[in-house]
Structure 1
Amino acid sequence: MARSHPYNFAHVLLPQLAWRRPTSVRRELSDPYLARELLHYVWDKAAENLAPAEKVAPKGLRLSWHEVAGRVTALFHLPPPQATMEAHYSALVYEEDEDAAETEAEEKRPRYFTLEATLGLAGPAGTPTEVGEWAGEVHRHLGRGPAAGQPNTLTAFLETLATVLGPLPPETEVPFMRVVRS
């Protein structure tokens, strides 16, 4: 069973924060100093009501930015999981560029994915994982993820996300039309 502290961070607080204030959280995560402060603040909040013995050190907690299937993606490197449902990584995937997000009246929520530890025996290929997506209160399992604990786990997770996301939809501009009279 997942430990409460890392579970609360990756499955509850981080996605809720990003969905509540998408544009401002994205802006804060884009600044290395603010990103570090925000991540550690949310990490501490995730343990706020837990007994000291249940708290986990934020060792390894950090953020990196990537482009996945043409989309800007904030990838969260989490402390190593020790139980099922704890995440190795989580990702906020932004479907639109930052300028478009700032001009829209209603902010578009980023998609939120996790690479979670799952049941199974660790072998030479690594430990088993599962890719999940949170959409509001709904958590969907998208299938087996890449083996964890390998040098290519991060890259393989990003490749899996690219497959799930698919190509960006074409621009929805109205085509130019010229009326010709005969």
Structure 2
Amino acid sequence: MARPHPYNFVHVLLPQLVWRRPDAVRRELSDPALARDLLLYVWDKAGEDLAPADRVPPRGLRLSWHEVAGRVTALVHLPAPQSTTEAHFAALVYDEELGEEPDEADDDLPEARPRYFTLEATLGLSTDHGSPTVVGEWQGDYHHHLGRGPAGGRPDTAEAFLKVLASVLGPLPGADVPYMRIVRS
């Protein structure tokens, strides 16, 4: 059974925050100092109503930016999962191309919500090649499993997860984009 602290962070609080204030959260995540503060704040909120023994330290919690199939993608690195449904990573995928900022000129349009993906630990035997995972996507209140993910707990798990996302997303229509590249860490 998933520990409530990491579960609340990945599956409840982070997606709610990102979808409630998409442009503001994106701007905060774009600043390394603000990103760290925001992630730690949400992590603390996810555990504030839990008994001290149920709280999990944010060891490994950080953010890196990537381009995936032409889309700006914020990859949230999470503390190592200990149970099913706990995630290795969460990815916020913005439909704008790299370098394209949200249009602030038209305040009448709703803010574009990013797609929210997870790479979750799942049942199965861990091997020397890593632990089993599943790729998920949250769409509002609905969580969809998109199939098996890359082996978890390996040095190349993040890159392999981003490659899976690239194949799920496909290239932007009419865009001549590389398959995937790291923008900044």
TM-score between the two structures when normalised by the length of structure 2:
0.89
Q: Within 5 Å, which residues of 2 pair with 1:60-99?
A: 60-97=60-97, 98-99=100-101
The answer to whether the Cα contact below 8 Å between 2:23 and 2:102 also exists between their aligned partners in 1 is no
Gaps of 5+ in 1: 172-182
Aligned counterpart for 1:125 among listed residues 111, 118, 129: 129
The answer to whether the Cα contact below 8 Å between 1:23 and 1:102 also exists between their aligned partners in 2 is no
TM-score between the two structures when normalised by the length of structure 1:
0.91
SS in 2 for 1:49: coil
Q: 1:36 to 1:100 in 2, by over 3 A?
A: closer
- Greater RCO, 1 or 2 (C-alpha within 8 Å, sep 6+): 2
Question: How far did 1:167 drift?
Answer: 1.1
- Equivalent AA in structure 2 for residue 160 of structure 1: V
Looking at structure 1, the residues matched to 57 and 68 of structure 2 have their Cα atoms a distance apart, in angstroms, of 29
Question: How far did 1:161 drift?
Answer: 0.3
SS in 1 for 2:96: coil
Deviations 1:47-83 (A, max 9, x none): 1111111000000000000000000000000000000
Aligned counterpart for 1:164 among listed residues 158, 165, 168: 168
Looking at structure 1, the residues matched to 103 and 126 of structure 2 have their Cα atoms a distance apart, in angstroms, of 42
Q: Within 5 Å, which residues of 2 pair with 1:41-56?
A: 41-56=41-56
The answer to whether the Cα contact below 8 Å between 1:111 and 1:135 also exists between their aligned partners in 2 is yes
Q: Higher Cα Rg: structure 1 or 2?
A: 1
Aligned counterpart for 1:114 among listed residues 97, 114, 118: 118
Question: How far did 1:103 drift?
Answer: 3.6
| Number of corresponding residues | 171
User: Which shows bigger deviation, 96-105 or 131-140?
Assistant: 96-105
SS in 2 for 1:74: strand
The answer to whether the Cα contact below 8 Å between 1:101 and 1:108 also exists between their aligned partners in 2 is no
Looking at structure 1, the residues matched to 153 and 28 of structure 2 have their Cα atoms a distance apart, in angstroms, of 29
Q: Which runs of 4+ in 1 moved over 4 A?
A: none
- Superposition CA RMSD, Å: 1.2
- Equivalent AA in structure 1 for residue 160 of structure 2: A
Q: Within 5 Å, which residues of 2 pair with 1:135-174?
A: 135-170=139-174
Gaps of 5+ in 2: 176-185
The answer to whether the Cα contact below 8 Å between 2:76 and 2:91 also exists between their aligned partners in 1 is yes
The answer to whether the Cα contact below 8 Å between 2:69 and 2:172 also exists between their aligned partners in 1 is yes
